[in-house]
Structure 1
């Protein structure tokens, strides 16, 4: 099975050999719950998201990735931040690709669909912020969620 291994500020991490623009989406419903997935490739909880494909915009990628991974249709409502810390690399064991982090994080609200698992998400749940902070989440993903929950006036640029 293909695995995803996240490294952060780890001297034993493999060197990055690619940079792929990606999106993550913080989807908050009317109850204040956040849509979270449990990734099948590393068992971590995360925001939905993935690579931006050629020919699509950041917003189109965010809507597509959220639908593919969660079954939920969303409307984008804002920008949380841009995360590009070179100390965070992601190793995909299927092809030995090692990506430097480059993620644009958007805020959204649901407009339809129903939480449904996929090949990439073994669990999909609406969770309260207090529940989210108790999950097993990689520190880079936790930072994105924390930045959203701080309700900052302007986007984070890292």
Structure 2
């Protein structure tokens, strides 16, 4: 299923759903950040996805990272909350979501890096190499907040 992201775009479709989602900035010992190239958009993004009934939001982030990358992680902190109603995500099946994402930090505790059906590439990327990758600007915002060494999580 294809997806298109809109930000502050008067041509964006009107949201018909709000889905609670979690993402994670997973780093390795060299400080590189794990990114996946999504099959639905072709863009690089942090691993993450929707929370299921019966799980916590940190648990959703852990599960999504495992499903999308094969890695086991533990949550180590909070980057921020991302709920800007100007960020709309439209799917080819007619679902149109208003963004609702909580982004955590995480470290790898096990597993083996492997591509899932949700991605075409997985890689740990040095912060200086991020500008050369196709990344939606709302994902770049999360990365910027992570790399900015903020004194408190972003609340937006």
Shorter-chain TM band: over 0.9
SS of the residue corresponding to residue 133 of structure 1 reads: helix
CA deviations over 1:93-141 (Å, ceiling 9, x no partner) = 1x20000000000000111112210111111111111112321100111
Return the alpha-carbon distance in structure 2 between the equivalents of residues 83 and 66 of structure 1.
Answer: 18
Q: Following TM superposition, by how much is the alpha carbon of 1:33 offset from its aligned partner in structure 2, in angstroms?
A: 0.7
- TM-score under structure 2 length normalisation: 0.98
Unaligned runs of 5+ in 1: none
CA deviations over 1:7-65 (Å, ceiling 9, x no partner) = 11111110001110101100011111100000000100000000001110011101000
SS of the residue corresponding to residue 30 of structure 1 reads: coil
Q: Following TM superposition, by how much is the alpha carbon of 1:153 offset from its aligned partner in structure 2, in angstroms?
A: 1.3
Matched, 1:60 2:47: no
Aligned alpha-carbon RMSD (Å): 0.7
**Correspondence for 2:39:** 40
**Correspondence for 1:157:** 155
**Correspondence for 1:140:** 138
Spell out structure 1 runs of 4+ moving beyond 2 A. Answer: none
Return the alpha-carbon distance in structure 2 between the equivalents of residues 85 and 114 of structure 1.
Answer: 34
**Correspondence for 1:116:** 114
Matched, 1:104 2:102: yes
Return the alpha-carbon distance in structure 2 between the equivalents of residues 106 and 79 of structure 1.
Answer: 4
SS of the residue corresponding to residue 24 of structure 2 reads: strand
- The number of residue pairs the alignment matches comes to 156
CA deviations over 1:51-91 (Å, ceiling 9, x no partner) = 00111001110100001001111010001000001000000
Return the alpha-carbon distance in structure 1 between the equivalents of residues 58 and 70 of structure 2.
Answer: 17
**Correspondence for 1:72:** 71
